[in-house]
Chains A and B, each alone.
Chain A
Amino acid sequence: MLACKKNESNVAPAVSRRQSLLLMLLARPLWICGLGGLLLRAPGPVIKERWVLAGDD
């Protein structure tokens, strides 16, 4: 199961419903980065080496 646990606590959701629907429509790996960045407006450089990822990620 990959679904996140439903947010039943007082912890804020990671993204809003509207944002996630937009992302679903645009879900294509190669250009999602730029659009995702535009939509989510997250700061800071992206450095892949800082991530600990699986081979098929």
Chain B
Amino acid sequence: MLYRSVVDFIRSGFRPRVCIVGTGPAGMSLALRLQQKKIPCLLIEAGGYEFSQTSQDFYRGEVVGDHYDELHGVRLRQFGGSSGHWAGWVRALDASDFEARDYIPNSGWPIRKADLDPYAAATDEILHVKPRADDRPLTQNIDAIQYRFSPPVRFGNMYRASIEQSRIVGLLLNATVKELVPGNGRIASVKVVEGSRQEHELPVEQVCVCTGGIENSRLLLWSNARYGGRVVPHADALGRYWMEHPVFTIADAITFDGYEMQFESWSQEKRFFAPSTPAKKAHAIGGAHIWMRAHPKESNQAKELLQQAMCVAPNLSNRLLKLTSREYHCGAQILSEWEQIPLARNRVELGRETDSFGVPRVRLHWMKSDLERKNALVSARLLGEALIKHDVGRLRIRNFLTDGTDYPNDEQGTGRHHMGGTRMAESPATGVVDRNCQVFGMPNLYIGGSSVFVTGGHASPTYTIVQLALRLGDHLATRLAT
């Protein structure tokens, strides 16, 4: 059911048991699950059906630290959320990503991969992905892994009709939840601003905040500031341990047999390399996936690589000269996306500027650490050794990794994956939500989305976001039935 306004919703007599703030992959997957369970819920979306610069403006903010793209350009404030511009690559987190690793500070989820596996089939269905294939070892240290491809599902397009036609799920558009209002040790209501700045206070039974990996922290921080810490009673970790996935070209390779060409044609079943679990442990690094891309047509890089190879490797150069007696292409960039260590210093906080509703804009503190640099360097070396073992090429590592200079600023630099800020933990001393995504000390406040991630692994977060949302739906269904 789509309500034309908040007043229209109030007059309808519809009484949702769960109020879901945000309609991205987390909020929408949760609503679809609750619909299956026949639990009335209300989706509240700050944007409209279409992209709007006016709506995006609420996402402007400041970044302190490493270079980062403008905050209003890396996420979408509209129906369907950031699924409106995602690339579609999906992969579940590995079992080792959930474990406490003594070489990754602040690692270790209170749940395991086995807790999310039961939701894999339903997640595949929501994201329209084919069944997964097993990873296979390429060497002892490098696995060939599979990423799957979602068409990509734009939640706003894909599920609009089913939400509009639903008698169980209500929808409010262009309605911004500005504050969560506490009362009697729980969230009593949400303060909603409609496009005209008219404010309404809607009473709630259960609230799930699913506004994205930056806005979740912002809404909780602001609500906590407004109401003297009564929204998130244990707020030491709130906004902190924020993470991204660094993405850079980490090496270049000379390849034999057109090895790099294999990667050019895989549009929907792209193959990646990844350090194996034993290798990650042995080298004390986090997760990473690595892929090849033939050097660009205009590039001089393959030529330059060949020249250097002649200097550093005489026997190899003789082999290469035979290869270059014909006009062949033999060069590839090696790119990687890898895990960032969760550190308290990387955080979302409230800035001094406010948006037009008077809510402080975000100030994001974000820096990569030495551990991230080591992760990329070791991954490149391990892949180089794998190329030697299979005699399919040789690899040269990019100098910013070997000499400690700045990361290049002419690349995207991140996956635009926003994780952490309301991390899951065993206790409120180290996190914001418990294993069921419930905010510690607030019995009717839940968080959906990648802000609950403890660590981010190397996989794109969407798959895990949907799994967690479905699991949260089941938890709420059980709780509301008793």
Q: Who on chain A is nearest to B311 by CB?
A: A33
Taking a contact as CB atoms under 8 Å apart, the answer to whether A14 and B324 are in contact is yes
Query: Once the chains are docked, how many angstroms separate the CA of A54 from the CA of B393?
Result: 10
Alpha-carbon gap, A28 to B361, bound state (A)? 64
Does the CB pair A7–B322 fall under 8 Å?
Answer: no
> Chain A interface secondary structure, helix, strand, loop or mixed?
loop
Chain B residues touching A, range? 35 or more
Interface string of A29-57 (1 = CB under 8 A from B): 11011001100101110111111111011
The answer to whether B307 touches A40 (Cβ under 8 A) is yes
Query: A2–B322 contact, CB under 8 A?
Result: yes
State whether the Cβ of B321 lies closer than 8 Å to any Cβ in chain A: yes
Taking the closest CB of chain A, its distance from the CB of B305, in whole angstroms, is: 8
Which of A13, A49, A54 meets B402, CB within 8 Å? A49
Contact A14 B328 (CB under 8 A): yes
Chain B residues in 8 Å Cβ range of A42: 300, 303-304, 307-308
Which of B256, B298, B321 meets A24, CB within 8 Å?
Answer: B321
CB distance from B145 to the nearest CB of A (A): 20
- How far apart sit A15 and B300, CA to CA, in the bound complex (Å)? 9
Binary contact readout B312-330 vs A (1 if CB under 8 angstroms, 0 otherwise): 1111111101111111111
Considering the chains assembled together, what is the distance between the CA atoms of A48 and B326 in angstroms? 27
- B197, CB-defined interface residue at 8 Å: no
Taking a contact as CB atoms under 8 Å apart, the answer to whether B330 and A14 are in contact is yes
Task: Count chain A residues whose beta carbon lies closer than 8 angstroms to a beta carbon of B.
Answer: 43
B454 at the interface (CB under 8 A from A): no
Chain B positions 251 through 264: 1 when the CB is less than 8 Å from some CB of chain A, otherwise 0: 00001111001001
B257 / chain A contacts, CB cutoff of 8 Å: 1-5
Q: Known contacts A20-B324, A47-B402; decide if A52 and B394 are in contact (CB<8 Å).
A: yes
Instruction: List chain A residues, Cβ under 8 A from B380.
Output: 52
B442 at the interface (CB under 8 A from A): no
Q: Is the CB of A30 within 8 A of B314?
A: yes
Q: Are B388 and A50 in contact (CB under 8 A)?
A: no
Q: Decide yes or no whether B399 CB sits under 8 A from chain A.
A: yes
The answer to whether A51 touches B313, judged by C-beta atoms less than 8 angstroms apart, is yes
Contacting pair B394 A3 (CB below 8 A): no
Contact with B along A1-28 (1 / 0, CB 8 A): 1111111011111111101110110010
Whether A46 pairs with B308 at a CB distance below 8 angstroms is: yes
Residue of B nearest to A38 (CB): B307
Instruction: Tell me whether A40 and B304 are in contact in the complex, defined as CB-CB below 8 angstroms, given that A12-B297, A12-B299, A52-B388 are known contacts.
Output: yes
Residues of A within 8 A of B308 (CB): 42, 44, 46, 51
Which residues does chain A contribute within 8 Å of B328, judged by CB atoms? Answer: 3-7, 13-14
Pick the contact of A3: B295, B323, B388 (CB < 8 A).
B323
Nearest residue (CB) in A for B385 is: A52
Instruction: Report the Cα distance A21→B321, complex, angstroms.
Output: 9
Known contacts A3-B256, A53-B388, then 20 further A-B pairs from the complex at CB < 8 Å, ordered by chain A residue: A1-B256, A1-B257, A3-B257, A4-B326, A4-B330, A6-B326, A9-B294, A10-B297, A12-B297, A12-B299, A27-B321, A29-B315, A40-B307, A44-B304, A47-B402, A50-B396, A51-B394, A53-B316, A57-B316, A57-B394
The 7 closest A-B pairs by CB, nearest first: A5-B258, A52-B384, A29-B314, A42-B304, A4-B328, A14-B302, A57-B313
